[in-house]
Amino acid sequence: MSQPSKPTTEASVAAQPDTSETGDRAGRRRRKSAATVNALDGIGGLGAPAPDSFLSVRDLRVHFPTDDGLVKSVDGLSFDLSRGKTLGIVGESGSGKSVTSMAIMGLHKPGTVQMTGSIRLDGQELVGSSPEAVRLLRGKKMAMIFQDPLSAMHPFYTVGHQIVEAYRMHNDVSTSVAKKHAVEMLDRVGIPQASSRVDDYPHQFSGGMRQRAMIAMALSCSPDLLIADEPTTALDVTVQAQILDLVRDLQSEFNSAVIIITHDLGVVAELSDDIMVMYAGRAVEYAAAEEVFERPKHPYTWGLLSSMPRLDRARIDRLRPIPGAPPSLINVPSGCPFHPRCAYADRTGGLSQSQRPPLEEKAPGHYAACHLTPEQRTAIWETDIKPTL
Ligand SMILES: Nc1ncnc2c1ncn2[C@@H]1O[C@H](COP(=O)(O)OP(=O)(O)OP(=O)(O)O)[C@@H](O)[C@H]1O
Ligand code: SF4
Ligand SMILES: [Mg+2]
């Protein structure tokens, strides 16, 4: 594997040809945090994982052949995540967040998907591994809180039985000890009368309770990597706070690595060390959380921040939705995939329409994929965006 290329600054940015084979260019080590986006060198080589990386994703591509064409749901994603750190992934519906998570968990059905690149978990390569080998990692090595609770639970078994089985697979304990643990976990996620509800079937739980039970299941084995895909959407505010506390407890007790996927920027801000903004199956911005909130550099991130309600935003009438809709992942727009929706696309002398911007370091440890010059970006941020947030 090649060594990571040296950090490039914006002055050295060269536009890349618009080809899906090109990938993101020139991986750079994050300076401020443990997670790293190591983009590609443009001809298929990959930067080495960060030394302390627990999860290393390199040039991940997850494509689905369909009758309408090849759906490029994830198209060249690279990042590292260390133990004890949290990566927040944000992006509009359809940007590839869940497909990425399912790829890490090995849950895409073989035969329906084309998956290339590399996913290394604690040094073990998952892409191309047998489904059985990956299955053995689920539970203790990695666990996921799914967007849809029903996809995580078997309808024919009681909730308690499912937690007990998962727990016993990775812990040498009796059924009664495992059941006690299951009741404790259900109690911790706020299931009332957990000791009796433990014997209910998933359909006997309300939607919110199913969500909580699934969270209990995911946390029950204290996974080394937890992927939480929209973990709090179906839950009321009090339970949301409990769940986020549980994730934090898990992290401090077991030094777990956490990926949190959510539309809720408040949740991301509270939990994440780093944030990766995805658009059309690619990373368009990546930096420490504070950087993304305080000094965002990509027009799409500006759009997200302007369009999402935040507790600290004084006036809700300032919300400005991003015009247009996310692109087709079968016919991804040429050049920058965001160009049909970007208010600044006409300021780049045609580059936005013709050449894909590589993900590059725009400030120390802060990466974005955009053709705007530093002067243009600063001027737009200072005059158009910052005063409106
Ligand atoms: N099995 C599949 N076959 C074809 N296309 C798929 C498949 N699974 C996902 N996709 C497509 O991949 C794209 C990315 O989907 P994904 O579920 O990752 O989006 P997301 O970012 O999680 O969105 P949301 O915020 O709505 O959950 C979508 O356009 C989706 O329709
Ligand atoms: S490259 Fe062009 S279209 Fe894409 S975000 Fe930057 S300015 Fe907008
Ligand atoms: Mg999703």
Q: Are 235 and 145 in contact (CB under 8 A)?
A: no
Ligand nearest to the CA of 99: 1
Task: Count helices and strands (H / E) in the chain.
Answer: 12, 12
CA 148 vs. chain centroid, Å, equals 16
Q: What is the pLDDT of residues 38-51, one digit of tens each?
A: 443 322 233 677 77
Residues with CB under 6 A from ligand 2: 298-299, 336, 338-339, 342, 344-345, 348, 352, 357, 370-372
Q: What is the pLDDT of residues 109-138, one digit of tens each?
A: 989 999 999 999 999 999 999 999 999 999
Beta bridge partners of 276: 89, 286
Share of the chain above pLDDT 90, in %: 63
Q: Cα separations (Å) of 307 from 233, 291, 385? A: 18, 18, 12
Q: What is the pLDDT of residue 124?
A: 95
Q: What is the pLDDT of residues 47-102, one digit of tens each?
A: 677 778 999 999 999 999 999 999 999 999 989 899 999 999 999 999 999 999 99
Give me the phi and psi of 354, to 5 degrees please: -115, -25
- For residue 37, pLDDT beyond 70: no
Q: What is the pLDDT of residues 376-386, one digit of tens each?
A: 999 999 999 99
Atom of ligand 1 nearest to the CA of 73: 12
Report the C-alpha gap between 197 and 189 in whole angstroms: 13
Ligand nearest to the CA of 368: 2
160 ligand 1 Cβ < 6 A: no
- DSSP state at residue 327: P
Q: What is the mean pLDDT of residues 232-260?
A: 85
Task: Report the interhelical angle of 207-220 vs 237-254 (nearest 10°).
Answer: 0
Amino acid identity, position 13: V
Confidence (pTM)? 0.86
Which domains, from first to last, does the chain contain?
A: 21-141+223-388 (3.40.50.300)
